Amino acid sequence: MSDKPQTSEKMQELINLAAELDDLSHINALMGWDQQVYMPRGGSEERGTQSALIGRLMHEKLTSEKVGKLLADLEAEVGDLNADTDEARAVKVFKKAYEKQTKVPWPLLMEFIKVTTGAHEAWVEARTKSDFSIFQPYLQKIVDLRIEYAKLFQPYDHIYDALLDDYEPGMKTADVKKIFDELRPQQVELLKAIAEKEPPDNSFIKTHYKTEYQELLGRYVITRFGFDWNRGRLDLTAHPFTTEFGQGDVRITTRYLDDDGGSALFSTMHEAGHAMYGQGIAAKYNRHPLSGAASLAIHESQSRLWENLVGRSKEFWSFFYPSVQMLFPEILGNVSMNDFYRGINKVEPSMIRVEADEATYNMHIMLRLEIEMGLMEGGMQVADLPEIWNSKMQEYLGITPKNDAEGVLQDVHWSGGMIGYFPTYALGNLASVQLWDKLLEENPNVHDEIAQGKFDTILGWMREHIHQYGAKYEPQELMLRATGSKITPEPYINYLKTKYGEIYDL
């Protein structure tokens, strides 16, 4: 006889419903992946109609009166929704999704889906032509729709709270501002100290590297990390991203730049970090209410950890650099490993967020947060964004974009309506170092293992403490369980000061 508790009839009904919603969500994700990777531009309007149909089916399934009754019955059956059981947490997660969706009228959701599908193609064209006016009317509509959406969740402490909660469950705008207010002056102080020092040379990176060799290197690195090619693939797109259509199909994308040989490698490592999280969620949560990730910040902690804490470390390059020199002898043959390490970690204000170094990256996110809050509060207008963006780049980083493409149009997120998303990038940075510190505390030989090209201890620790739990725990609870602390800026600041103190002799 098995000691495994029997799943009640009502709980099984909830799991079956979650499985159907998961399937529909993954179909929608597949269409979104195709749109960004392969779809011809002429398919935009029809793709919007198709996505709207999937959205309507999901909305109807999730918000029916039958589901409300089922959740009420299950809540009575389970009792404490904070109990540390899969059943209690499944009901809690599903109930929150139900309560949020029932507040959103279907016509508003349908319009949002159609507008964002068309907005993506407008963004691509606007970015290619470096002309914000092409994208402006779409973004104006998106902002209007997001304000309308957020107001459905009154009362709130701040209108931005409802949007932030979609990506970072349980986090409030005030929480993020408090963290950023503590982080900003310390990062500014560090940047001022670095600016007084002689910068490393990184000209060897800012040149053309053979694309086929870049791809070979990226595939080799993430294979050693533990990316499962039987359940994933790598493709090209304008803006790197990760998506999944189930635990057996997690896909990443990258891009190759003519004037930056490091961009594709670091973005491939970054996206692989996301993908290995998706591949590592416990199999029992496949097509289940707990099938997703804890949050976008936890997701970002994984990508930033593999990209930066591993991929930009001295130990990593002590192992990989000889192979890289052999691939690109005409560029790197006379560049020492130490010069290479210092060069790839050069602190230099960058126009483009995804190309930013670790010391300046969070400044890009703080800029975005101010703009998004301004748009939602009504104090900023969409038509003024290019000027606002440029002035804030000068204020935060001392540089001004030459055009819209490297300024306000650089990221794809607003075209998808993802206002509320950007703070998770900075929160993920902070969480990555907290997790890394705890990993090192429990496994002090990890740096030596990295120098030998071994990464199984790192991936295994993340599987045990983060990946396997899926959406069972909200992000702050998961961080408490894994590290003993909620997300906090101190470990990240200490990490930056130690790393750049050595590189710049501060």
- Nearest one of 125, 144, 145, 146 to 134, comparing CA atoms: 125
CA dihedral 284, 288, 294, 298 (to 10 degrees): 60
DSSP letter at 360 equals T
And the tokens for 308? 């930066």
Which of the residues 168, 244, 271, 372 is marked catalytic?
Answer: 271
Contact 238, 124 (CB under 8 A): yes
Torsion sign (Cα): 52, 55, 60, 61 = positive
Query: Rounded to an integer, what is the distance from CA 106 to the centroid of its chain?
Result: 27
Q: How far is residue 476's CA from residue 486's CA, in Å, rounded to a whole number?
A: 5
Contact 252, 242 (CB under 8 A): yes
CB under 8 A, 24+ apart: contacts of 75-81: 77/8, 77/10, 77/11
CA dihedral 261, 265, 271, 273 (to 10 degrees): -150
Find tokens 């949002």 and name the residue: 112
Query: How do beta strands 250-254 and 242-244 pair?
Result: antiparallel
Q: How far is residue 412's CA from residue 110's CA, in Å, rounded to a whole number?
A: 20
- Nearest one of 310, 411, 403, 316 to 356, comparing CA atoms: 411
Contact 111, 78 (CB under 8 A): no
Those residues with Cβ within 8 angstroms of residue 379's Cβ, 6 or more apart along the chain or in another chain: none
The verdict on whether 46 is a catalytic residue reads no
Query: Rounded to an integer, what is the distance from CA 224 to the centroid of its chain?
Result: 22
Q: How far is residue 94's CA from residue 501's CA, in Å, rounded to a whole number?
A: 46
DSSP string of 81-142, one letter each residue: TTSSSHHHHHHHHHHHHHHHHTTS-HHHHHHHHHHHHHHHHHHHHHHHHT-HHHHHHHHHHH
3-state secondary structure 379-398: CCCHHHHHHHHHHHHHHHHC
And the tokens for 431? 């969480």
Contact 304, 432 (CB under 8 A): yes
- Nearest one of 387, 364, 385, 361 to 375, comparing CA atoms: 385
The amino acid at residue 215 is E
The amino acid at residue 18 is A
Find tokens 């030998």 and name the residue: 452
Kindly list the catalytic residues: 271
